[in-house]
Structure formats: C-alpha cells, structure tokens
C-alpha cells in the first residue's frame, strides 16, 4: 500500500519488474548492490526536492488567495488565521500545556490527523508542536476556536511528515481550545 501511495509513475515499470525477477531468480544483475543503492538514493533525493518545490508553489498560491478573504488575518511570521470564537481572556503561553480538539488537512482537503471524534481532548505542550500551531493557539483563550493556515516554513518545511504530509506542505488546522494548564513557576531559592 505504501508503494502504491508513493506515486512512482515516472519509473520504467518493465525494468523494475525485470530487476525484481532477476533478484528473485538469482540471475546475474546489471548493477551491483552498492551502485543500486546510490542510484535509488539519488532518485529519491531528487524526487523529494521536486515534490517539495511543487508543493511550495501550490502553498504560496493558496496563501496569496486566502489572505484576500476579509476574515483571514496574517501575523508577522506569515501565519494566516481566522479566529472563529475568541474564547476567554485566559490565553496560553509557550510554556503552558493545552487540551484541544483539532483537525489537520492539506490545502486540497485531505485530512491527515484529527482528534475531533475523541471522547477526551488531546494535551499538547504549546512549545512542543510545529511553530505555526504554537503561534496560533496563543491567539485564543479557553473555549476559543481558530483556523490556522500554516505555511510550510512554519510547519514541517522540506521534511516529509508521515505518509500524507509531503515536503513543503501548507497545512490547515481547526483547533478548539478546551483548557489551559498554566506552567508552574518555580520560585527562586530564598537566600539566608
């Protein structure tokens, strides 16, 4: 299934099939293992770079159009967001832990993760998630809801993240902030 989702349509399938048959039948191979590994690694690197470039362009085009929406705001970092419900005055800081329900999608609507159907919200330290998510969640208070449009550089950048999030993907998150657990401030030791 993973190979099917990888979309290797640019490879010569007849040659791949022949190579697999040669390996399985222990026939003499056209190239040695070391050369094959170098070729495969180079192919995968180039493929990821091209995929990342295409995703970056699609994401930039999406964000350019999206920021024209009157209800969408843009932060100094380039994060786009829409506050649906502002929530209470109590907002999280980067050191806090939040309990949330969330749904993450690609710009084409493909869902890659969701906790919306869970009985209990998910807990995250605010400073332990992708930068765009961390920045955005701090804009609302308890009971708030926000939609985040996260440019790739505030998400996973050029890295693939799991089977669905490709290099340089722009991500969309709907986040419901249920509860904030404020970080405990440690008191400085008292001098004698």
Domain assignment present for residue 45? The answer is yes
In the DSSP assignment, the letter for residue 108 is: T
Domain assignment present for residue 22? The answer is yes
Question: DSSP 3-state helix, strand, coil percentages of the chain (rounded to 5)?
Answer: 35, 25, 45
- Write out the catalytic residue numbers: 102, 112-113, 130, 156, 173
Strand, coil or helix: 33: helix
Domain assignment present for residue 67? The answer is yes
Angle subtended at Cα 73 by Cα 140 and Cα 107, rounded to the nearest 5 degrees:
95
Residue whose entry in the numeric block shows the structure tokens 């609302």? 140
Domain assignment present for residue 16? The answer is yes
Domain assignment present for residue 13? The answer is yes
Domain assignment present for residue 191? The answer is no
Are 167 and 106 in contact by the 8 Å Cβ rule? The answer is no
Are 79 and 135 in contact by the 8 Å Cβ rule? The answer is yes
Are 115 and 104 in contact by the 8 Å Cβ rule? The answer is no
Number of domains making up the chain: 1
Could you say which residues of the chain have pLDDT below 70?
1-11, 16, 186-192
The CATH number of the domain where 92 resides is what? Answer: 3.10.50.40
The pLDDT value recorded for residue 2 is 44
d(CA 28, CA 15): 15
Residue 63: domain span? 1-184
pLDDT tens-digit profile of 72-110? 999 999 999 999 999 999 999 999 999 999 999 999 999
Nearby residues of 125 by Cβ (< 8 Å), 6 or more positions away: 95, 96, 97
Domain assignment present for residue 7? The answer is yes
Q: How far is CA 127 from CA 33, 97, 138, in A?
A: 43, 8, 10
Strand, coil or helix: 172: strand
Question: CA dihedral in degrees (112, 75, 135, 98; nearest 10)?
Answer: -80
The pLDDT mean for the chain works out to 89
Angle subtended at Cα 89 by Cα 87 and Cα 92, rounded to the nearest 5 degrees:
85
Domain assignment present for residue 190? The answer is no
């Amino acid at each position: 299934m993973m190979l099917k989702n990888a979309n290797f349509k640019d490879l010569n399938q007849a040659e791949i099939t022949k190579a697999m048959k040669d390996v399985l039948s222990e026939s003499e191979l056209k190239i040695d293992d070391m050369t094959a590994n170098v070729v495969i690694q180079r192919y995968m690197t180039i493929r990821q770079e091209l995929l990342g470039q295409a995703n970056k362009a699609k994401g930039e085009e999406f964000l350019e159009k999206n920021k024209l929406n009157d209800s969408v705001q843009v932060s100094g970092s380039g994060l786009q967001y829409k506050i649906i419900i502002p929530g209470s005055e109590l907002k999280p800081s980067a050191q806090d832990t939040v309990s949330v329900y969330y749904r993450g999608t690609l710009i084409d609507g493909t869902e890659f993760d969701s906790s919306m159907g869970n009985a209990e919200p998910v807990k995250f330290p605010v400073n332990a998630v992708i930068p765009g998510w961390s920045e955005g969640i701090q804009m609302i208070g308890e009971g708030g809801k926000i939609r985040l449009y996260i440019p790739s550089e505030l998400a996973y950048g050029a890295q693939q993240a799991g089977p669905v999030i490709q290099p340089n993907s722009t991500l969309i998150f709907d986040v419901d902030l249920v509860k904030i657990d404020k970080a405990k401030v440690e008191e400085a030791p008292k001098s004698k």
